[in-house]
Amino acid sequence: MTDVAIVGAGPAGTSLALQLARSGCDVTILERRVFPRTKVCGEYLAGGARSALSDLSIEDRALRGAHPIRSISLSAFGSEPVRLRLPSPGAVSLERAVLDSRLLEAALAAGASLKQGSFMRSSERSLSNRARKTGRSSSNGLVDVVYRDEHGAERSLSARVLVGADGAWSAVAQRNGMAKPGAGGRWAVGGHLEGQTDSDELEMYVGPGGYYARNPLSATVVNSMLVLPRPAQASEAEAAVATITSGRRRFEADALQRRVAIGPLRYAAEHLCARRTILTGDAAGLLDPFTGQGVSCALRLSFSAAETIAGLLAGGRPERLAARYAAEWRRAVGMRKVLSFLIDALMRNGALRRRAHAKVRQDPSIAEAMLAAISGYAPIGAALSPGLLWRLLA
């Protein structure tokens, strides 16, 4: 038996495991893939991710050798790119295979243990009176977790709390009635391009129905990621990038290394907690990758998840803890979802987009203030302040 079983060794699961292990909990991580593993991601780490890693006291270790990103060049529907400076100390980019392995190493070094296997199902049971009297738990219940190990054998594990940190379309959420399979959403395809010119600027191009981002990962490699309303074949991706970037960039499908594709990019859990099962990171809800905030939010939410689990282990009332956790999620992640929806809507409305573009060209500090709030350098509410929206659109 373990105190906490965490399904998924992405940033959400490992940052949580690290905190729980440091506080003396017995933590088991269940991960289906062998690390280092790739993950579909733009590999951009905003200020919020840096500050969360710093709060976990692992920023230097986790980000060793990361590439600095100091500005974002934004171009919408063929407009001339607007250069937005990121607030100091800027952002960084780092391969997810590297970042995620380092976070896992940190969690294991703190005392968490790892089981290789794929989550299948779980069920909760009450402890018998006798077990309740003699067991470690004053709170009465266990979760039995069934998984398939790396050799294909079915195994089980009991935990006092189960965490679904298994990413978007979480099996933990769906098999416990906390999320339903959704419909709609965009699709992403991308990978790494070598032989590029050195740059510390992320390029973002927005066009009809989709967007294309190039994030420098080193002096010679960029992460190239295209997001479209449907799954794209290589030839379609080439044409789409030519349209979205007005011919400034090519997709270069044949040159892509570590090619990845994923979709549809729409998923949200209906419940974040169900008694002794809680969801965190993308398993709780997927943010539009456009904002580049997924890792930041996954790391930040792990602090609230750790508090909620400590409360459950101490025998706190699950309903009260669930309500507090949901409020924390809305504050850390929900507001960013609202903001990314608004920015998307703004970009797609011709009149508003042209007005905002003219204003931002005149005074880039308006968009930089928004970027600071989205990226976690300033409170997220600052990006939605009436004063800023007035300066942008009036």
Ligand X SMILES: Cc1cc2nc3c(=O)[nH]c(=O)nc-3n(C[C@H](O)[C@H](O)[C@H](O)COP(=O)(O)OP(=O)(O)OC[C@H]3O[C@@H](n4cnc5c(N)ncnc54)[C@H](O)[C@@H]3O)c2cc1C
Interface ranges with ligand X (CB under 6 A) = 7-13, 30-33, 39-44, 118-119, 165-167, 171, 188, 225, 262, 265, 281-283, 289, 292-296, 298
14, 109 contact by CB (below 8 A): no
Q: Nearest 5°: phi and psi at 273?
A: -135, 140
Q: How far is the CB of 205 from ligand X (least distance, A)?
A: 15
Query: Measured from the CB atom, is 110 or 262 closer to ligand X?
Result: 262
Beta strand ranges found along 112-176 (DSSP E) = 113-125, 142-149, 154-164
Q: How far is the CB of 3 from ligand X (least distance, A)?
A: 19
Q: How far is the CB of 253 from ligand X (least distance, A)?
A: 16
Query: Is residue 197 classed exposed, middle or buried when 0-12, 13-18 and 19+ CB atoms within 10 A define those classes?
Result: exposed
* Nearest-angstrom CA–CA distance, 299 and 11: 6
Relative to beta strand 113-125, strand 201-207 is: unpaired
Query: Measured from the CB atom, is 107 or 298 closer to ligand X?
Result: 298
Query: Measured from the CB atom, is 157 or 366 closer to ligand X?
Result: 157
* Amino acid identity at 87: P
**Eight-class DSSP state of 90:** -
* Nearest-angstrom CA–CA distance, 128 and 86: 56
Query: Measured from the CB atom, is 288 or 368 closer to ligand X?
Result: 288
Query: Is residue 82 classed exposed, middle or buried when 0-12, 13-18 and 19+ CB atoms within 10 A define those classes?
Result: middle
Query: Measured from the CB atom, is 39 or 357 closer to ligand X?
Result: 39
Q: How far is the CB of 314 from ligand X (least distance, A)?
A: 25
Q: How far is the CB of 356 from ligand X (least distance, A)?
A: 23
Question: Pick from 250, 246, 228: which is nearest to 238 by CA?
Answer: 250
**Eight-class DSSP state of 200:** S
204, 211 contact by CB (below 8 A): yes
Query: Measured from the CB atom, is 285 or 318 closer to ligand X?
Result: 285
Q: How far is the CB of 391 from ligand X (least distance, A)?
A: 27
